[in-house]
Amino acid sequence: MKIHQQPETNLRQQKLEEFFHQEKPAKSEASILPKIRCSSNPDINYISPQSLADLLDNKISIEKYLVIDARYPYEYEGGHIQSAVNISSPENLSSILEGSNWENTPIIIHCEFSQQRGPALYRWLRNSDRLQNMENYPALSYPELYILQGGYSEFFKLFENFCTPQSYVTMKDPLHKHDRKKLKSKTCQPRKAYLRCS
Work out whether strand 46-47 and strand 80-81 pair parallel, antiparallel, or are unpaired. Answer: unpaired
The predicted pLDDT at position 101 comes to: 86
Domain presence at residue 178: yes
Catalytic residue among 38, 111, 188, 197: 111
Looking at the structure of the chain, the number of domains it has is 1
The predicted pLDDT at position 24 comes to: 45
Domain presence at residue 145: yes
The predicted pLDDT at position 189 comes to: 54
CA distances from 116 to 53, 113, 123, 147 (A): 22, 8, 10, 11
Asked whether the beta carbons of 52 and 161 are under 8 A apart, the reply is no
Work out whether strand 163-164 and strand 107-110 pair parallel, antiparallel, or are unpaired. Answer: unpaired
State the number of CA atoms in the 13 A half-sphere of 138 facing the CB: 5
Domain presence at residue 38: yes
The alpha carbon dihedral of 50, 51, 52, 57 has a sign of positive
Asked whether the beta carbons of 65 and 55 are under 8 A apart, the reply is yes
Local confidence pLDDT in tens for the 198 residues of the chain: 544 444 556 776 666 666 555 554 566 677 899 999 888 889 999 999 999 999 999 999 898 999 999 999 999 999 999 999 999 889 899 888 887 888 889 999 999 999 999 999 999 999 999 999 999 999 999 999 999 999 999 999 999 999 999 999 998 777 766 676 667 766 655 544 344 443
Q: Which helix (H) or strand (E) holds 23?
A: none
Q: What is the span of the domain harbouring residue 51?
A: 26-184
Query: Among this protein's residues, is 111 annotated catalytic?
Result: yes
The predicted pLDDT at position 161 comes to: 98
Domain presence at residue 156: yes
Say which DSSP state 57 is in: T
Helices marked H in 22-146 — which ranges?
49-56, 73-77, 90-99, 117-132
CATH number at residue 171: 3.40.250.10
Asked whether the beta carbons of 149 and 51 are under 8 A apart, the reply is no
Beta bridge partners of 146: 108
Domain presence at residue 19: no
Residues 6+ apart with CB under 8 A from 16: none
The predicted pLDDT at position 104 comes to: 85
- In whole angstroms, give the CA distance from residue 104 to residue 31: 10
Q: Could you give phi then psi for residue 80, rounded to 5 degrees?
A: -150, 165
Domain presence at residue 21: no
Domain presence at residue 177: yes
The alpha carbon dihedral of 99, 121, 136, 140 has a sign of positive
- In whole angstroms, give the CA distance from residue 110 to residue 146: 9
Domain presence at residue 15: no
